[in-house]
């Protein structure tokens, strides 16, 4: 059976290290780092995500300056709020919880965030910095994938990486990060012809397409490393449960290493959000 790449354990270790770092700075008389999470409406999943992020912040000493707005909020009010946070010296990271109600222009709102406070690492300037190999805040989920691979000494140099999924959240930035790590990268998606043939060529296969258990054992090269970024809520005869984009049990019999769902990339995503906030804080206060 495949080695389980335990993102939950690594996230716990990293968060303890971040807590020690923050404690050292505050003991020196510095203010704590600050993260502002903006949520609009009453989406239950979003509310859960925000609570989890705020709890994680509290554990490591990050001050949360979150604001919750009704679903009928005007775009201009949110733009003004982001402007205020951009100019607030106590705020090091800003996050707009997605999805937003259809009446709001999420792209304009996200682009209005100061790139140096872009805790999610999704601002066009930060994505451009990634493309150019420059210093900048990195997208959280792809960064979490790379950190987990590094923890298990999985070297991508010369490896064939296939990323199934082309979103700006995961697929595209992750492909750039893998290229930076000297891998040969192919991006596939739902319209890719002969997808199974392509995935079977991968030394490292990343599933980030948002389809429950789409990647099956016959699509995986024996001995491959399989990274499952998907989190899908399904309801069947087994009840309501979370599954990834990979049929984990069957694929684990073929792969050399695999991430679980839950407990794989999800905890790493939250941890990289915290790390981005602390990194922004250190830069803003001249601590690095």
Average pLDDT, the chain: 96
- The answer to whether residue 97 is catalytic is yes
Nearest to 203 by CA among 255, 151, 166: 255
Tokens 């309801």, residue located: 235
Please give the share of the chain, as a percent, with pLDDT higher than 70. Answer: 100
Q: Would you state the pLDDT for residue 147? A: 98
Cβ-contact 232, 243 below 8 angstroms = yes
Instruction: Name the catalytic one among 120, 203, 228, 245.
Output: 120
Q: Where are the alpha helices (DSSP H) in the chain?
A: 7-27, 44-60, 75-86, 106-111, 124-132, 140-151, 171-180, 195-199, 248-252, 265-284
| Residue range 177-205, pLDDT digits in tens | 999 999 999 999 989 999 999 999 999 99
DSSP 216: -
Q: What is the DSSP string of 134-167?
A: -S-PPPHHHHHHHHHHHHTT---TT-EEEEE---
Instruction: Record the tokens describing residue 54, joined without a space.
Output: 């705020």
Cβ-contact 202, 160 below 8 angstroms = yes
Per-residue confidence band for 146, with pLDDT thresholds at 50, 70 and 90: very high
In whole angstroms, give the CA distance from residue 85 to residue 266: 27
Q: Is the pLDDT of residue 221 over 90?
A: yes
User: ∠ at Cα 31 (269, 275), nearest 5°?
Assistant: 15
Q: What φ, ψ does residue 158 adopt, rounded to 5°?
A: 75, 0
Paired strand residues for 187 = 163
User: ∠ at Cα 80 (75, 81), nearest 5°?
Assistant: 95
Span 99-105, mean pLDDT? 94
Domains in the chain, ordered, with CATH? Answer: 30-117 (3.40.50.10860), 140-266 (3.40.50.720)
Name the pTM for this structure. Answer: 0.95
| Residue range 27-70, pLDDT digits in tens | 999 999 999 999 999 988 888 889 999 999 999 999 999 899 99
Q: Where are the alpha helices (DSSP H) in 61-188?
A: 75-86, 106-111, 124-132, 140-151, 171-180
Instruction: Name the catalytic one among 15, 97, 118, 159.
Output: 97
Instruction: Name the catalytic one among 21, 53, 117, 221.
Output: 53
- The answer to whether residue 218 is catalytic is no
Span 126-145, mean pLDDT? 96
Q: Would you state the pLDDT for residue 102? A: 92
- The answer to whether residue 117 is catalytic is no
| Residue range 227-262, pLDDT digits in tens | 999 999 888 887 888 899 999 999 999 999 999 999
Position with higher pLDDT, 118 vs 241: 118
Q: What φ, ψ does residue 200 adopt, rounded to 5°?
A: -70, -10
């Amino acid at each position: 059976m495949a080695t389980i790449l335990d993102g939950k354990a690594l996230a716990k270790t990293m968060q303890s290290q971040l807590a020690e770092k923050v404690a050292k700075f505050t003991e020196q008389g510095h203010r704590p780092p600050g993260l502002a999470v903006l949520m609009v409406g009453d989406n239950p999943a979003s509310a859960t995500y925000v609570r989890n992020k705020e709890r994680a912040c509290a554990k490591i000493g990050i001050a949360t300056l979150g604001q919750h707005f009704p679903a009928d909020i005007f775009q201009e009010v949110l733009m003004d709020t982001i402007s205020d946070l951009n100019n607030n010296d106590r705020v090091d990271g800003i996050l707009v919880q997605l999805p937003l109600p259809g009446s709001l222009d999420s792209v304009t709102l996200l682009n209005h965030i100061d790139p140096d406070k872009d805790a999610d690492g999704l601002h066009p300037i930060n994505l451009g910095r990634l493309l150019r190999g420059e210093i900048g805040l990195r997208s959280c989920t792809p960064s979490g994938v790379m950190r987990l691979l590094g923890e298990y000494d999985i070297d991508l140099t010369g490896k064939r990486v296939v990323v199934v999924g082309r979103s700006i959240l995961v697929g595209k930035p992750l492909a750039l990060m893998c290229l930076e790590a000297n891998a040969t990268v192919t991006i596939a998606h739902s319209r890719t012809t002969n997808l199974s043939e392509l995935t079977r060529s991968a030394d490292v296969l990343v599933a980030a397409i948002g389809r429950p258990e789409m990647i099956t054992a016959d699509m995986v090269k024996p001995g491959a490393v399989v990274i499952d970024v998907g989190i899908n809520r399904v309801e069947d005869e087994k009840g309501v449960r979370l599954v990834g984009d990979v049929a984990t049990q069957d694929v684990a019999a073929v792969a050399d290493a695999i991430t679980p769902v839950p407990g794989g990339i999800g905890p790493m995503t939250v941890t990289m959000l915290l790390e981005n906030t602390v990194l922004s804080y250190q830069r803003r206060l001249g601590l690095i």
